[in-house]
């Protein structure tokens, strides 16, 4: 398992950086203590094409696919995306607040964006995630946990866990037991 490096500005040194405008400062007293795993594919069920990057940077062309008309005006982001081949793209510094969780609650505390890191996996609720994604996700979680000591082993959850009834990702295709074994 490769331990990755995060610089003083909160950027992963081995990631491709594609800066999103969709972020702001975390509240002054917030402490990073949660990692939220998401699943995304654009268009739905399709992989590749760079549409996720365009979406997180407000550059999605609504004429490229009929589904994009529904989401083109949304301003969202995640800290990182792990593509199907394991390639990591970082959109927002870990020190800043990415806009990934929306209305959310974890252990009774609202506004998860304030104290979490959002990691998107390129995938869907129904297609299995790739081996490369699990290995990169494990490396990233271990790196984040060592860099942000308030992130404890049980502080990794899915978007569906913090927004039940509203979100389903990373979905039933995500193998939580596999991730737990990799993290041991």
Domain 16-42+76-183 architecture: 3-Layer(aba) Sandwich (3.40)
Mean pLDDT, range 127-141, rounded to an integer: 97
Give the pLDDT of residue 1: 66
E strand or H helix at 180: helix 176-183
Give residue limits of the domains in the chain. Answer: 16-42+76-183
Q: Tell whether the model's pLDDT for residue 122 goes beyond 80.
A: yes
Q: How many CB atoms lie within 10 A of CB 25?
A: 9
DSSP alpha helices (H): ranges in 34-169? Answer: 51-56, 68-71, 131-147, 159-162
Quote the pTM value. Answer: 0.97
* Confidence class for position 132, pLDDT limits 50, 70, 90: very high
Q: Of 66, 109, 120, 122, which is the active-site residue? A: 120
* Residue 120: active-site member: yes
SS3 128: coil
> Between the CA of residue 43 and those of 28, 31, 72, 116, 138, what are the distances in Å?
37, 34, 12, 26, 26
């Amino acid at each position: 398992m490769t331990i990755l490096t995060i610089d003083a500005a909160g950027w992963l040194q081995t990631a491709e950086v594609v800066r999103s405008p969709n972020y702001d400062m975390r509240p002054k007293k917030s402490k990073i203590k949660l990692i939220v795993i998401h699943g995304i594919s654009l268009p739905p069920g399709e992989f590749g094409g760079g549409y996720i990057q365009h979406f997180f940077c407000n550059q999605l062309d609504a004429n490229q696919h009929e589904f994009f008309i529904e989401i083109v005006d949304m301003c969202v982001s995640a800290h990182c995306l792990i593509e199907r081949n394991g390639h990591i793209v970082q959109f927002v510094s870990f020190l800043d607040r990415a806009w990934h969780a929306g209305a959310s609650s974890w252990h009774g505390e609202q506004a998860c964006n304030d104290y979490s890191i959002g990691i998107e996996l390129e995938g869907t609720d129904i297609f299995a995630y790739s081996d490369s994604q699990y290995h990169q996700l494990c490396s990233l979680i271990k790196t984040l946990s060592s860099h942000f000591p308030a992130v404890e082993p049980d502080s990794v959850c899915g978007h569906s866990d913090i927004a039940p009834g509203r979100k389903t990702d990373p979905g039933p295709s995500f193998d939580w037991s596999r991730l737990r074994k990799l993290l041991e």
